[in-house]
Every structure is written in C-alpha cells, then in structure tokens.
C-alpha cells in the first residue's frame, strides 16, 4: 500500500477490532464498563423500558466505552512520545481519564433517571 493510499474497508475494520481487543485485554476499566453496561441492558429488558429509554441507555453505555477507548489511545501516544515522567504528560493522561469519569457520571445519572421511578414503584409494591 502506497504512502497516501487509504486502507480498504475490511482492513480498517480489522484494525479497529484489533484496537478494541487490545483495549479489552489491557484495560480493566473497559472490562468493568462493558460488564456494567450488560447489567444495565439486562435490567432495561427486565423492566421493559421504552424504545426512547433504550436509545438513551445505549448511547450512554457507548459513550463511556468510547471514552475509555480514546483514553487508552491517548495514553499509548503519550507513552510513545514521552517515555520518561513529565508533568504535562501525566496531566494529559489525567485529563483524558477525567473525560471517562464525566461520561461515567453522565451514564449513572441517566440510569437513575430511567430506573429510579421503576425501582420506587417496585419497592412500593413490595412494602
């Protein structure tokens, strides 16, 4: 492939999956977020959320996973260009981790908005 040729669709897709598998294997936080997302989706199915709520929950889960993957990419690049400790390199990593935290907090708030009324009704029926 020449210097300025774009890779084909299937090659790009293979490279993207390779990146996802690397992130899955090396980042415990991604594994936690995927596991939490699966639990949320199961609970959404069990509590029969609306189609709109499904979309919002899927968007929230995808945002957290996407932020975690981007955080991993940024950490790899920072480690590549600055293998020794540098305060700005560390700050870049912290800021990227902060972006993951923001999306995770957003996802939790969305989950509370979607599920709290259902949990409240469920608890009210039991007690």
How does pLDDT run across 60-110, given as a tens digit for each residue? 999 999 999 999 999 999 999 998 999 999 999 999 999 999 999 999 999
Q: Considering the candidates 30, 33, 68, 78, report the single residue annotated as catalytic.
A: 68
Pick out the residues of the known binding site for substrate.
46-49, 68
Characterize 91-109 residue by residue with b for buried, 16 or more Cβ atoms within 10 angstroms of its Cβ, and e for exposed: ebbeebbeebeebbeebee
pLDDT exceeds 70 at position 48? yes
Neighbours of 60 (CB within 10 A): 21
The model's pLDDT over 113-126, given as tens digits with 9 standing for 90+, comes to 999 998 888 787 88
CA torsion, ordered 22, 25, 30, 36, to nearest 10 deg: 140
Neighbours of 4 (CB within 10 A): 5
Q: Please enumerate in sequence order all residues whose Cβ is within 8 A of that of 92, keeping only pairs 6 or more positions apart, or say none.
A: 74, 78
pLDDT, averaged across the chain = 94
Residue 105 and residue 98: Cα distance in Å, rounded? 10
Pick out the residues of the known binding site.
46-49, 68, 75, 93-94
> Where do the domains of the chain lie, and which CATH numbers do they carry?
9-126 (1.10.287.3610)
Task: Using DSSP, state whether 3 is helix, strand or coil.
Answer: coil
Give the ranges where the chain is alpha helix by DSSP (H).
Answer: 9-26, 28-46, 51-81, 87-126
Q: Is-catalytic flag, 68? A: yes
């Amino acid at each position: 492939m020449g210097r300025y040729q774009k890779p084909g669709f299937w090659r790009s897709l293979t490279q993207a999956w390779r990146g996802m598998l690397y992130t899955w294997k090396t980042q415990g936080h991604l594994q936690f977020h995927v596991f939490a997302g699966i639990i949320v989706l199961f609970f959404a199915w069990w509590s029969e959320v609306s189609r709109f709520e499904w979309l919002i929950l899927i968007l929230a889960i995808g945002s957290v996973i996407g932020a975690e993957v981007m955080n991993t990419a940024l950490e790899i690049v920072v480690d590549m260009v600055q293998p020794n400790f540098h305060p700005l390199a560390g700050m870049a990593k912290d800021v990227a981790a902060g972006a993951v935290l923001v999306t995770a907090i957003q996802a939790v708030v969305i989950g509370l908005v979607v599920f709290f009324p259902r949990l409240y009704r469920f608890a009210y029926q039991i007690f």
